[in-house]
């Protein structure tokens, strides 16, 4: 195949390959995901904003794209890097091929690159920015290297505001309890998980003030996942501080735990290469049980700065001992760094939505 696409990293690394999807340029952090399946869910997860996604599994696209596995209304990742694109996908629910899907959403992809080499480079050196260009000319490489070196850090953007809903949406499950979902870049599976438990959902923009949220008379609050540096979403942190004083049940997921950590006076930090995949081992410190979890984040709560005496760290990551969950000893507040709604990933942690429902009752 013709090598008509290129990936250039900020350290000058050049990986040539064959383009697919839409012609164009993608810029952002180059990150890897270790899931063997779930590329449709990952591509449409708003937490991948300003990131070029690279699965470590070598064959991608073999079951195509279906109508059921969207986590938002569009592809959120800036670009896609794969070892090999399946040319003849097969599945009972298939509606389009991955190549067609990326073309429709105007997202460039590159295949035929050594994703194992790139993954090892990121693990050793840490996350780095990059540029994916399809098509490209060899004469452009010096210019692309210069641009890659000078790309902005993800911490310079307020990505939450870019992906959050712009209007309030209501979902009636016919239940007795209602939760306000603060949308920092929610995955649709979070809403589905609530509706399946007959919890009514009111989805509000991330910049909605606490007063307006409480004006909906909710039984509880859920702060969703989302992209980027949590410190750039200070407005959500301030809202969380006010909601804590309302003594209402609060559940934070992924970015939500980072927001809650900042609200309680802790600090967050950037992980070397993040946790992205469906096989992250998490230990529940209260029971000793280990869960295999679905994760997608590049920042974490600093345990050493979580000084509030009423906060209990409940879960840790067994790979690097980072904080994966905490709860309040007196208030009905719980939060986890991983994704209990999965999609993709194991269903081991669905029970957390049931715990939240018990808190609402």
Q: Are strands 79-82 and 51-55 parallel, antiparallel or unpaired?
A: parallel
Residue 137 structure tokens: 């000319």
Cα separation, 130 vs 339, in Å, equals: 27
Cα separation, 209 vs 134, in Å, equals: 42
- DSSP string over 306-355: ---TTEEEEEEETTT--EEEEEESSSSEEEESS-TT-SSS-STTTHHHHH
Return the active site residues: 254, 339, 341
- DSSP string over 10-74: TTS-EEEEEEEESSEEEEEEEEEE--SS-HHHHHT-GGGTTEEEEESSSEE-TT-B-SS--SSSS
Q: How close are the terminal C-alpha atoms of the chain, in Å?
A: 59
**CA-atom Rg of the chain in angstroms:** 20
Among residues 16, 31, 142, 143, which one has the least CA distance to residue 77? 31
Cα separation, 354 vs 359, in Å, equals: 9
Burial of 170 from C-beta contacts in 10 A (0-12 / 13-18 / 19+):
exposed
Cα separation, 187 vs 214, in Å, equals: 23
Cα separation, 337 vs 252, in Å, equals: 8
Query: Under 8 Å CB-to-CB from 245, ≥6 apart: which residues?
Result: none
Is 292 in a helix, a strand, or coil?
Answer: strand
Residue 247 structure tokens: 């003594």
């Amino acid at each position: 195949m013709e090598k008509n696409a290129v990936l250039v990293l900020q350290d000058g690394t050049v990986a040539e390959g064959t383009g697919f999807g839409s012609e164009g340029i993608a810029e952002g952090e180059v990150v890897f995901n270790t899931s063997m399946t779930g590329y449709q869910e990952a591509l449409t997860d708003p937490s991948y904003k300003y990131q070029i996604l690279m699965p470590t599994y070598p064959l991608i696209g073999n079951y195509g794209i279906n109508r059921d596995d969207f986590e938002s209304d569009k592809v959120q990742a800036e670009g896609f890097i794969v070892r090999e694109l399946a040319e003849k996908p097969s599945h009972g629910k298939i509606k389009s091929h991955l190549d067609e899907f990326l073309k429709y959403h105007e997202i460039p992809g590159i295949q035929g690159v050594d994703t194992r080499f790139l993954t090892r480079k990121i693990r050793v050196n840490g996350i780095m920015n990059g540029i994916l260009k399809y098509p490209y000319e060899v004469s452009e490489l010096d210019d692309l290297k210069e641009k890659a070196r000078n790309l902005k850090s993800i911490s310079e953007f307020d990505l939450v505001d870019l992906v959050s809903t712009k209007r309030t949406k209501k979902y009636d499950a016919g239940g007795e309890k209602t939760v306000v979902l603060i949308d920092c870049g929610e995955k649709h599976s979070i809403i589905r998980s609530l509706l399946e438990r007959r919890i009514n959902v009111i989805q509000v923009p991330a910049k909605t003030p606490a007063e307006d949220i409480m004006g909906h008379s909710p039984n509880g609050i859920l702060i969703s996942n989302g992209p980027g540096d949590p410190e750039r979403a200070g407005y959500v942190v301030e809202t969380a501080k006010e909601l804590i004083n309302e003594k209402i049940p609060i559940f934070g997921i992924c970015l939500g735990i980072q927001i809650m950590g900042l609200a309680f006076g802790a600090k967050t930090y950037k992980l070397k290469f993040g946790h992205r995949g469906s096989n992250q081992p998490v230990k529940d410190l209260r029971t000793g049980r280990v869960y295999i979890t679905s994760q997608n984040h590049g920042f974490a709560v600093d345990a050493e700065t979580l000084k509030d005496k009423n906060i209990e760290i409940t879960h840790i990551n067994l790979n690097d001992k980072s904080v994966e969950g905490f709860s309040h000893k007196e208030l009905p507040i719980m939060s986890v760094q991983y994704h209990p709604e999965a999609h993709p990933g194991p269903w081991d942690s669905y029970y957390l939505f049931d715990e939240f429902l018990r808190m609402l009752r």
